[in-house]
Amino acid sequence: AETVDVEAIREEYPILEREFDGEDLVYLDNAATTQTPEPVVSAMSDYYREQNANVHRGIHHLSQEASVAYEDAHDRLAEFVGASGGREEMVFTKNTTESENLVAYAWGMRELGPGDEVVLTEMEHHASLVTWQQIAKRTGADCRYIRVDDDGRLDMDHAEELIGEDTEMVSAVHVSNTLGTINPVSELADLAHANDSYIFVDGAQAVPNQPVDVEAIDADFYAFSGHKMAGPTGIGCLYGKSHLLEEMEPYLYGGGMIRKVTFEDSTWDEVPWKFEPGTPPIAEAVGIHAAADYLDGIGLERIREHENELVTYAYDRLTEHDDVEIYGPEPGPDRGGLVSFNIDGVHAHDLASIMNDHAVAIRAGDHCTQPLHDELGVAASARASFYLYNTREEVDALLEGIDDARELFA
Ligand code: PMP
């Protein structure tokens, strides 16, 4: 497949020209946050220069324009992930974590009780793991975890065993931010639905890097973040099937989400506004809209192909050495564009620090998947994660950094 024109793309990211102590920045921490291209930055600065006002349809021109821009962004993001219902299926939040909390509180606190089960995977990010775990504790429900096999894939036999009569919700990460595994979320959705339960998909690492269609997956809820898809921080998305969002009570209360208020009681505005109280992230909505246009303009298929090439190259080079342990599946159709690993005798944090001496930005730690790292038998790993602007030369810089670390710690 055709891939992306990296050189042209890089020109839209001035930050990539930064140097530290004479070394060119090599940014390989895209699973944590991606860089923001000019079209997104300028959409946001144009908004502040020309349209800035509060939304909720004030009478004046600026408020009208800001309201339209804010509302339209919902339709655009719905479309971006294949939701045909537009804004009625797209709630803006602060990030994936808040989307997760919204459903866990608004849906979970009402629907879960003793004897009920939430089925998660062992590779959940803390955003879903901790949230469902704590809501389960409050409601008396139990959490069960689908096993990850030695190749870093979900044990689907175990999934079939776990998802049953007592299951009320399945919460699964679409692409693991630690293992890189692309999970069969549509199969999990079928299992959930065959057992009269629902599925929440954490798409934080999927939406930025591959085409996603929530309707093809048949997800009931699907969450992602602006800052991981070439968009701004401060905004996240929650897709939900409209009948579910309709039935759910609000999770946060305040102005802008009501229909009628008396001293005794209140009624709610329609979806999505009933879930978006207070002044929302308006400039960020403009920014994430621009990010969706930007990514579609390049093509998610091509971005996926480019990342696949980089991760395959990194994987092949890393496995030339037998002191390297890589987590997750081999590159291929079910591996996304990131690689977590350890080098014998070098702590992941030391490795990241040596990399930083060369201006190579990688992650070290548990990547918000502590229980998974416990299962892997390590406290931490190093992670390099790629995006559309990364090059093979940057992967080489990563490998040189690893060689340096080997020499230092030998
Ligand atoms: N889920 C996954 C798979 C992630 O990678 C992340 C970000 N590391 C999150 C959830 C949380 O995203 P945010 O910090 O934007 O809420």
pLDDT band at 57 (very low <50, low <70, confident <90, very high): confident
Is the pLDDT score of 38 beyond 60?
Answer: yes
Ligand 1 atom with the smallest distance to the CA of 99 is 16
Contact assessment for residue 255 and residue 113, using Cβ atoms and an 8 Å cutoff: no
Write out pLDDT tens, residues 73-85. Answer: 999 999 999 999 9
Ligand 1 atom with the smallest distance to the CA of 227 is 15
Kindly state the tokens that stand for 28: 């390989």
The C-alpha atoms of residue 202 and residue 225 are separated, in whole angstroms, by 10
Cis peptide before 272 (omega within 30 of 0): yes
Query: Which pLDDT score is estimated for 1?
Result: 53
Write out pLDDT tens, residues 219-238. Answer: 999 999 999 999 999 999 99
Write out pLDDT tens, residues 263-314. Answer: 999 999 999 999 999 999 999 999 999 999 999 999 999 999 999 999 999 9
- Ligand 1 surroundings by CB, under 6 angstroms: 31, 95-97, 125, 127, 173, 177, 202, 204-205, 225, 236, 368
Residue range 139-150: average pLDDT?
98
To the nearest 10°, report the CA torsion of 360, 380, 340, 327: 160
Location of structure tokens 């997800």: 219
Tell me how far the alpha carbon of residue 59 lies from the centroid of ligand 1, in angstroms: 38
Q: Has this prediction a pTM greater than 0.95? A: yes
Which residue's alpha carbon is nearest to atom 5 within ligand 1?
177
Query: Which pLDDT score is estimated for 230?
Result: 98
Ligand 1 atom with the smallest distance to the CA of 96 is 16
Tell me how far the alpha carbon of residue 335 lies from the centroid of ligand 1, in angstroms: 18
Tell me how far the alpha carbon of residue 204 lies from the centroid of ligand 1, in angstroms: 5
Pocket test for ligand 1, best of 33, 34, 92, 97 (most atoms within 8 A of CB): 97
The chain-wide mean pLDDT, for the chain, equals: 97
Pocket test for ligand 1, best of 94, 174, 368, 385 (most atoms within 8 A of CB): 368
Residue range 167-179: average pLDDT?
98
The C-alpha atoms of residue 277 and residue 56 are separated, in whole angstroms, by 11
Own/partner contacts of 56-59, CB < 8 Å, gap of 24 or more, are 56/256
Pocket test for ligand 1, best of 101, 225, 366, 367 (most atoms within 8 A of CB): 225
Give the H or E element holding residue 190: helix 185-194
Residue range 236-261: average pLDDT?
96
Ligand 1 atom with the smallest distance to the CA of 176 is 3
Amino acid at 173: V
The C-alpha atoms of residue 236 and residue 215 are separated, in whole angstroms, by 19
Query: Which pLDDT score is estimated for 56?
Result: 83
Q: CA nearest 16: which of 31, 34, 32, 3?
A: 34
Kindly state the tokens that stand for 150: 């030695």
Contact assessment for residue 208 and residue 230, using Cβ atoms and an 8 Å cutoff: yes
Which residue's alpha carbon is nearest to atom 4 within ligand 1?
204
Query: Which pLDDT score is estimated for 58?
Result: 83
Residue range 169-190: average pLDDT?
98
Which sign, positive or negative, has the C-alpha torsion 134, 137, 139, 145? positive
Tell me how far the alpha carbon of residue 44 lies from the centroid of ligand 1, in angstroms: 23
Which residue's alpha carbon is nearest to atom 7 within ligand 1?
32
Tell me how far the alpha carbon of residue 97 lies from the centroid of ligand 1, in angstroms: 7
Is the pLDDT score of 2 beyond 70?
Answer: no
For 296-357, give the secondary structure using H, E and C.
HHHCHHHHHHHHHHHHHHHHHHHCCCCCEEEECCCCCCCECCEEEEEECCECHHHHHHHHHH
Kindly state the tokens that stand for 201: 């998909």
pLDDT band at 3 (very low <50, low <70, confident <90, very high): confident
Tell me how far the alpha carbon of residue 87 lies from the centroid of ligand 1, in angstroms: 23
Taken in order of first residue, the domains within the chain and their CATH numbers are 6-30+299-409 (3.90.1150.10), 41-296 (3.40.640.10)
Amino acid at 310: L
Contact assessment for residue 43 and residue 73, using Cβ atoms and an 8 Å cutoff: no
Pocket test for ligand 1, best of 103, 123, 179, 228 (most atoms within 8 A of CB): 228
pLDDT band at 410 (very low <50, low <70, confident <90, very high): confident
Tell me how far the alpha carbon of residue 227 lies from the centroid of ligand 1, in angstroms: 10
Which is higher by pLDDT, 1 or 246? 246
Write out pLDDT tens, residues 123-132. Answer: 999 999 999 9
Catalytic positions: 368
Kindly state the tokens that stand for 204: 């934080």
158-172 CB burial, b ≥16 within 10 A, e <16: bbeebbeebbbbbbb
Sheet of strand 363-365: strand arrangement? 324-327, 338-343, 381-385, 363-365
Write out pLDDT tens, residues 196-221. Answer: 999 999 999 999 999 999 999 999 99
